[in-house]
Amino acid sequence: MNTIKLLDHGFVKLRNLSGPTRRTESEAIFDASDIDPANTARISFDNLDTERTVEQDYRLYEYLIKHKHGTPIEMVETWWEMKLPIFLARQFVRHRTACINEVSGRYATLPEEWYIPEIVGGKARSNKQGQEDNLDIETQNWFKENLNSTCENSYESYISALRDGVAPEHARLFLHVNHYTHWVWKQDLRNLMGFLALRLDEHAQIEARVYAQAMYDLLKLYLPKSMEYFDKYRRLNG
């Protein structure tokens, strides 16, 4: 339920959500709620954990996000597990507010998994770094077949190097940026909204948007008001 499969071998899994208030209800899946930012904000007036209606909490939360009072929103933490192509992972680490622990090719033999795009984009005419669905089928098929063949040969060389005693940290140099990596990602909700705003934008790379959309969809299941206010105040092209 908390995992969405993506691309050809990838996925996003929401592993945990945690806020400053423990949930004791038996039906609570995570220790985080849409009322946590509002409750935390009330410490400014020494009113933490005072009795408020849900509607009052939501009004305060909306005020906080609308007027960019971000610290209370940082009190909610999110944990994710992702399998994604290396080239995409290297884009995501630019968001330096995340804490990441990644599978290491120095210690583990990386699986025979690499990303082959379903649709191969052509260079966009109006964007230096973008792509458009403007290539004929023959060109797309040529690209996919050659890319897959190259990756198969490189992976065979990688495995052969390991068998011949080459150190894993050097053997992995045969692999390509479309090979899959696997990590755990932790980020507070405020900075995750910043990540989503950039990676859901129509100018972001299509594969990045796919992962960001999956994260958004999973958050919307458990923090629906947070995503409602994100849509209203934080999306770049909403």
Q: Catalytic residue numbers?
A: 199
Whether the CB-CB separation of 129 and 223 falls below 8 Å is answered with: no
Of 157, 73, 165, the closest CA to residue 112 belongs to 157
CA distances from 160 to 24, 115, 210 (A): 53, 21, 34
Of 84, 123, 95, the closest CA to residue 199 belongs to 95
CA distances from 83 to 11, 18, 29, 185 (A): 5, 22, 23, 11
